[in-house]
Structures are given as C-alpha cells and as structure tokens.
Chains A and B, each alone.
Chain A
C-alpha cells in the first residue's frame, strides 16, 4: 500500500518540479510569445547562484549561519537570473517580438553562449550545493512512508511562487500593466504605460522565476553547465499541453506530465515511460491543438 501512496506523492512532487521550471516559461512564452530556448540556462544560472551564496556563507560567515543560506540564495537566484534576463531582453529579445520562430533560433545561440560561459567561470565538472540541514530527512508517516522534506519544500515553493505570480498578475498595478501590454500594446502605451519597460521587466521576471527553479533544483539534482538542457523540452511541453498563455494551464500541464511520467515509469520502465508520455502528449495535442486551457490569442495562430 505504502508504495502506491508514495508513488502518488512522487507524481505530485515531480509535477511540482515541472511546474516550477515551467512557470517562468509560462510568462516569457505564454505572455510574450518569445520561444526562449535559453530558459534552461536561466535555471542553470539560478543553480549557480545558490552555489555562490553557499560558498559565501561557508567562507565568510560562521558555520551556524549556514543553515539559513538557502533563504538568501532564493532571492539572489531570482535577482541574478532576472538581471541577466533583463540585459538579454534589452540587447537581443527586443528585436524578436512578433518573430516567434526566429526568437527560438536566436535564443538557441544565447543558450550555447551561456553554457560555455558557465563552463569558463565555474569549470566543466559539476559543483556541489549542500542543502541546509533542516531540509535533510523526511517526514515519517509510517516506516515505509517517508516524505522527503526537500520535496515538500519544493511543493511549498511552487505554491508560494504561484500565489506570488497570481498576486502580481491579477492583484497588482504591475500585473495589470503587463496584462494590458500583452493584450493591446498600442492602447496600453496610450494610457501612459511604458511598454518597453514592461517588456523588459516581464522578461526579467520570467527569467527570475527560472532562477528560483534552478535554486530549488540544487536540492535534488546536479549543478553543472548543462543542467538546463534536461528541462527545456519538458517545460515547453508543459506549457503547450496546458495552453499557451494560461497560468492554470501550466499547473494542469505540469500535473499531467509529472504524474504521467512517474506512473508510467512505475508501471513500465523509465525509458518507456518517457516515450509514452511524450507520445500521449503529441496525440492529445492532435485532438486539442490549443492545449487544455484555451486562451484566445492571435499572435501565435497565424
């Protein structure tokens, strides 16, 4: 019995990781229609940010502080990824609005450069990010049923991130401006909104979310220059399956692909699980090309 409960937990946990990785994309791709192939590299930047913060703590601060480094690492990861995203938007992305397919190719170049940059700065081998002690261990429900704190923490982070995004997008001035710009750029500008500024902030925000995802992923996986490549197709599939431009879609897409992956992996094996999930997603999209949650948007259709 325990094994099945644990499997459900795993499914949700994997889903939460996909969601976290896809949230930033839901903004840059979903709202701005920029196919950012360098999204995975922003995840990587977030992971390295955690590494930098960790090293700072071990070198310059007393050991007792170490346990709390992660709370510093998350905002730093966000800020670092966001500022690099901002610069990128100002230099490169700004030329690519309305050229979705081109944006894909150009950001691919960006991704190559960022990977090599990471290799030059941090070296090719993986680096180690120690998780704080309070995240080690697991919530013991029964001897066979242990829910790792790290996974619970990531789930919590996803929920918090969603709430923040929801608040920002739907309850704040800033979000209103973003939505206005994305729905009707000219009209937004003639209401006094600086659309260029909104563009770059929005892209930076999306990149920053990827940074947070990267920071969280250090708890579970490796930290190296190619960290992001493993996530890129998955995250795109999450966004497309959910419906481009819909936050709910991203959640639903993440949940479907995540639980689908773990369930099929459990029933068959990892390779078949992966192949099956993607095949099913492709078939599903034949039936509903716009994804689960349809948002009427013109820019991607034609």
Chain B
C-alpha cells in the first residue's frame, strides 16, 4: 500500500533522514522502532509533507505523493495522529471530530462506530479539547483520524505519556482496527506495546533503517538493545 524509496528529509539545512526505504502492505500493522531523536517523527512528518524532502519517493497505492502538499496527501487517504496528539485545544470534542471529515471535504457523518471504539468521547462531546486528559486526547486524536476511514493510519508514539489503562484501551482499538482490515503504521520506542499488535517492524537509528523483519521472528533482546532508552 505505502512504498517509500530513498527518502531524504531536511530541517533547515541539516539532514535528518538519509535514504529511507520502507513498505507497508495492505492490512498489516507496521511498526517503526527507534530511540529518541533518531528521526522517527520526522519520517512521519515527511510522509505528510511537513518537512523538506528533496529526494525520494512516497507512493500510496501507486500514487506518487512526494510533490503534493500536505492536504492532498491527507485527502488521498492518510489518517495522521501526530505525537503530542495536537488536538485543537479551543474546540469542542465534537468539532475536533468533525474536522476529521475534512479529508472528504467535510461531507459525511461521524459513524457511531467511533463512539463504540471510544465510548469516553461520547460523554465529552461538548467539552473543549484542551480540557481533556492526555489519554483522552490521544483517543480523540485517533478517533479524529478514523472518522474519514483512511486507507492508511499513521500513529506517532500513541503510548507516550499516557496512563496504562488507556494504553491498554488503545492497544485493543488497534487490534480491532486490524481485524477490520485497516493498514497501520506506528512509530514507537516502547517495544512491549508493539510486540502484541504489529506484524512487521523496522528499526531506525540516526536517520537510517538498521533492521527490519517480521515481529514474530524478531530477536527481542537484540532489538531491545538497539532501541534501548
């Protein structure tokens, strides 16, 4: 589904990513592991077109996206949940969710399934996004990305700074989504979390992919060492 070849990314004049190759197959959950500051988030941002990517190719379902602006990338079917959630703090939960529909030009309705996945949101529809707890914001951010039924869901460290019970909830949701056939790309530095949910893994260090494979065949010790925090 998503094919990334030879991707380079810059911040200002400093190179963050060097020649990244990465594939996400349809219906699979792919995890990108790595320590703080190796460029994982930058990588996701470069998929979304938020940083400078002078070289390389990003293909979603054989459609080249590298020269497209961010919003067309989103519209071609990528649901992005950034690190730190990036909820619109001064808008209500309902408004935040509706914004998720912008990918389809704001048309459509929020399917009730969203509230099944995240029952907590239903109770809080009129609350300001900024007043939610971190975990709730994370759920809202995922829900917001899901309302438009994206072909590919991208999650940036969905567990960071979130209390354990909600991490469990999120894990369950991801598995549910997988069952429904969603394709998901997760960035994590927290190994235990992905062991149970991901199919494929990549490990990034210093802007390069240093290991990849199936999660089922992964040498946990070795990877843990590579991404040790």
Contacts and interface: CB of A to CB of B under 8 A. Distances in A.
Given A176-B95, A180-B88, A183-B89, A190 B48 contact: yes
Contacts of B193: none
Interface stretch (B12-20, B70-78, B195-203): B70-78
B43 interface: no
A186 B47 CA distance: 13
A195 B102 CA distance: 12
A179 interface: yes
Contacts of A176: 91, 95, 98-99
Contact of A189 (B74, B88, B106, B148): B74
A192 B74 CA distance: 5
Interface string B62-105: 00000001110111001010100010111100010011101110
A21 B213 CA distance: 63
B28 interface: no
B103 A192 contact: yes
Interface in A160-219: 173, 176-177, 179-180, 183-184, 186-196
Nearest to A188: B99
B69 A191 contact: no
Say what secondary structure dominates the interface of chain A.
helix
Given A173-B106, A184-B86, A194-B71, A189 B91 contact: no
Contacts of A186: 50, 70, 82, 86
Nearest to B150: A192
Interface in B134-153: 144, 148
Contacts of B71: 189-195
A183 B91 contact: yes
A177 B50 contact: no
A187 B86 contact: yes
Nearest to A197: B71
B75 A192 contact: yes
Instruction: Name the residue among A176, A177, A188, A190 with the largest chain B CB count within 10 angstroms.
Output: A190
B51 to A, nearest CB: 10
B35 to A, nearest CB: 24
A195 B74 CA distance: 12
B2 to A, nearest CB: 15
Given A173-B106, A184-B88, A190 B70 contact: yes
A180 B70 contact: no
A177 B99 contact: yes
Interface in A123-176: 173, 176
B100 A179 contact: no
Contacts of B144: 191
A190 B100 CA distance: 10
A191 B48 contact: no
Contacts of B80: 190-191
A180 B106 contact: no
A189 B68 CA distance: 12
6 contacts: A176-B95, A183-B90, A184-B88, A189-B48, A189-B49, A191-B144
In the A-B complex, list the 6 residue pairs whose CB atoms are closest, starting with the nearest.
A192-B103, A189-B70, A192-B74, A187-B86, A173-B106, A190-B80
Given A183-B90, A192-B71, 20 more contacts: A179-B88, A180-B99, A180-B102, A183-B91, A184-B88, A186-B70, A188-B99, A189-B48, A189-B49, A189-B69, A189-B71, A190-B78, A191-B80, A192-B75, A192-B103, A193-B99, A193-B102, A195-B70, A195-B71, A295-B90
